[in-house]
A and B are shown apart, each in its own frame.
Chain A
Amino acid sequence: MNEQQLHEVLQQQFGFDDFRPGQQPVIEAILNHQDTLAILPTGAGKTLLYQLPARILPGSVIVISPLLSLMQDQVNRLRQLGEKQVTMLSSIQTRAQQQATMNHLAHFKYIFASPETITKTEVMAQLKQIKIAMIVIDEAHCVSQWGPEFRPQYLLLKTLLADVSHDVTLMLTATATQRVQDDILIKLGLRVRQVTVVRQSVNRPNIFLSVQTSTSQTDKQTQLLQLVKTLGGAGIVYFSSRKQTSQVAQWLQEQTGLNVAAYHAGMSQTTRYKIQHQFMNNQLQVICATSAFGMGIDKEDIRFVIHYHVPANLENYVQEIGRAGRDGQQSLAVILYSPGDEYIQVNLSDLTIPSDAVVNDFMSGQVKAEQLGDVGDLLDFYRSQHLQAEQIIQIFQQQRQKNRHNLDQLLQYVNTTECRRAVILNYFGEQLLNHNESCCDGFDNPLNIEQLGLKKIEKTSIKPNVQSWQSRLNQLYFVKS
Chain B
Amino acid sequence: MDTYLITLLSDQQPRRMRVIENILTNRHTVTTLFWGLRYGILNWLGSDRQLVRADFDGQLRQMQDDGLLQLDNQFILLTSQGKAVQAQFLSQHYQPRFTSDYLNYQVNAAWPRLMFASQVISEFSYENAKYAPISFEDHELRYVKRWFAANKSAAIIQDFKDELTGFLGTLSETEATFMTELLVGHDSPGLSIDQLTGKLKLPSIDGEIMANDLIVGLMQYADQQTTLLKQLFADLHLESPMSHSGYVTYQLFVANHSIAQIEQQRFLKLSTVREHLLEAAIFDGPQFPYQRLLTAEQLADFDAQYAGNIDDWQVQNVSGDKNLDFFNFRLFQIMRSTSHE
Contacts and interface: CB of A to CB of B under 8 A. Distances in A.
Interface string B196-210: 100110000000000
A273 B138 contact: no
A466 interface: yes
Interface in B147-189: 157-158, 160-161, 164-165, 168, 173, 176-177, 179-181, 183-189
Given A97-B139, A478-B157, A469 B189 contact: no
A75 B188 CA distance: 20
B138 A76 contact: no
Interface residues of B, number: 47
Contacts of B111: 270
Contacts of B136: 72, 75-76, 88, 269
A473 B133 contact: no
A87 to B, nearest CB: 6
29 contacts: A76-B133, A79-B133, A87-B138, A93-B137, A246-B194, A270-B112, A270-B134, A270-B184, A273-B184, A273-B189, A274-B191, A275-B192, A276-B189, A277-B132, A278-B189, A466-B181, A468-B177, A469-B168, A469-B173, A469-B177, A469-B179, A472-B177, A472-B180, A475-B185, A475-B188, A476-B122, A476-B125, A477-B121, A479-B161
A264 B186 CA distance: 24
B272 interface: no
Which residue, of A75, A278, A477, has the highest number of chain B Cβ atoms within 10 A? A477
Contact of A82 (B122, B129, B158, B190): B129
Interface in B27-55: none
B187 A281 contact: yes
Chain A interface, DSSP helix/strand/loop, else mixed: helix
A71 to B, nearest CB: 8
Contact of A274 (B125, B133, B184): B184
Nearest to B183: A476
Given A79-B132, A476-B180, A479-B157, A274 B189 contact: yes
A71 B160 CA distance: 32
Nearest to A68: B136
B198 to A, nearest CB: 8
A229 interface: no
Nearest to A75: B136
Nearest to B127: A478
Contacts of B189: 273-274, 276-278, 281, 283
Interface of A: 72, 75-77, 79-82, 87-88, 92-93, 97, 100-101, 246, 261, 267, 269-271, 273-278, 281, 283, 466, 468-470, 472-473, 475-479
Nearest to B122: A476
A470 B164 CA distance: 10
B131 A274 contact: no
Contacts of B340: none
A475 B177 CA distance: 13
B258 interface: no
Contacts of A281: 187, 189
A271 B136 CA distance: 13
A9 B191 CA distance: 38
A93 B136 CA distance: 11
Contact of B180 (A75, A79, A271, A473): A473
Contact of B193 (A88, A269, A271): A271
A28 to B, nearest CB: 27
B195 A261 contact: yes
Interface string B84-126: 0000000000000000000000000001100100100110011
